Structures are given as C-alpha cells and as structure tokens.
Amino acid sequence: VIDSTKSMGPYIDRTREAVTKIYQRVEQEQLLDRVKFGLVAYRSSIKAVPGLEYVSKMYVDPSTVKGGSDFLGRVAALKPARVSSSRFDEDAYAGVMQALDQVAWNEFGARYIVLISDAGALSGGDELSGTGLDADQVRLEAKHRGVAIYTLHLKTPSGVKNHDSAQAQYTDLALNPYLNKPLYYPVDAGDVSHFECD
C-alpha cells in the first residue's frame, strides 16, 4: 500500500524495482504458486482536490496476478499525482482499508501489508477522511483478517513538522499483538538510497 502523491515519485520507482527483484528470486526458487504480491495506491480527498483523481486504487489484486511480468505490466500506469493535496497528511487508512476489504485474504496463509509513506494519515475525525477510522481501528480490522501491517515511514526534510505525529500514528497502526511490538520502520531523511537498501 503506497502513497502515490506528488512527493513520492522516486519511492514508487524503487518499490517497483524491489518487487521485481523479489519476483525474480521467487521465480528462480519455483515458488510462484506460493507467493503473491498486490498493490494499492492512495492519495487524499478528491472532493478537496479533484485533480488527485482517486482516494485509493487497487492496481494489482494478488489473487489474480500471474508473476513478476504481469505485476509490472499492471503497475506501469502508477505515477505520482500531478497536483498537491490540500493537507500534508494523506488518506493512508483508505489505502489500507481497500487492501483489507478487497483482497481475498482467506486464500493466503501468511498475510502482510507494507504501508509506504512520507506523510502522516488523516485522522478518522478529519472531514477529508474517507474511512472515518483511526490507526487503532484499522489495526483491529487487520487483526480480524489475520493480516500483519508493516509501516515504512520516509522521514523527508519537507515533512519534518509532521514526523512525530506520523510516527505515533504508524507505530500504533503497526503494533503486532503476537510480537508485542510495532512493525514500524523509519527511513531517516527519506534517503532514496537507504530506502532501496532497507
């Protein structure tokens, strides 16, 4: 589940590259029938900024993807937004909830969502929120489906005033009840090369 707003261009490209490398390894190990990836992109309220085009959108359903080349073909159209959102926070929970609601999780044994963003999430009480949910409520929805949520928080210089609030949200969202710790991973300075290595 990836933030596809204007600032996320380099990270979208790196995410595509990372999944390509993983699929190449999966194919080498002849595990294509056991490992599937999907991709949901999210932005923010199209009522506030119609030019964002969507709040969230599923580009790849893991139930129907047929390997690395199919995945890449489907996400080729994924580009960062051409206009800025009305707020720094984006509708991350809308992206996560679309993945939770529209993926047939019962088809999979190990179930993971990796959320990638350089901004905080709109709170459930925000008039622009597409879900009306906060981090703890989304986490409970994931737990109900047996899905673990990892968060990769890109701490870019442009978001320095947002870092603490976003970290609190994503730490809460990624709290894993079985490990009793959050699966929250910051990428300091939002460095693209560090993001690629991580």
The 3-state DSSP class for residue 182 equals strand
Using DSSP bridges, classify how beta strands 181-182 and 175-176 pair: parallel, antiparallel or unpaired.
antiparallel
Report the chain (198 residues): mean pLDDT per 10 consecutive residues.
92 84 85 88 96 97 89 91 94 98 95 95 97 98 96 91 96 94 87 58
pLDDT of residue 101: 98
Structure tokens at 178: 């079985």
User: Is the whole-model pTM more than 0.75?
Assistant: yes
Give dist(CA 185, CA 196) in Å, integer.
13
Tell me the per-residue pLDDT of 50-103, one tens digit each, with 9 for 90 and over.
999 999 999 999 999 988 888 889 999 999 999 999 999 999 999 999 999 999
Tell me the CA end-to-end span of the chain in Å, nearest whole number: 17
pLDDT of residue 17: 83
Residue pair 67/60 in contact by the 8 Å Cβ criterion: no
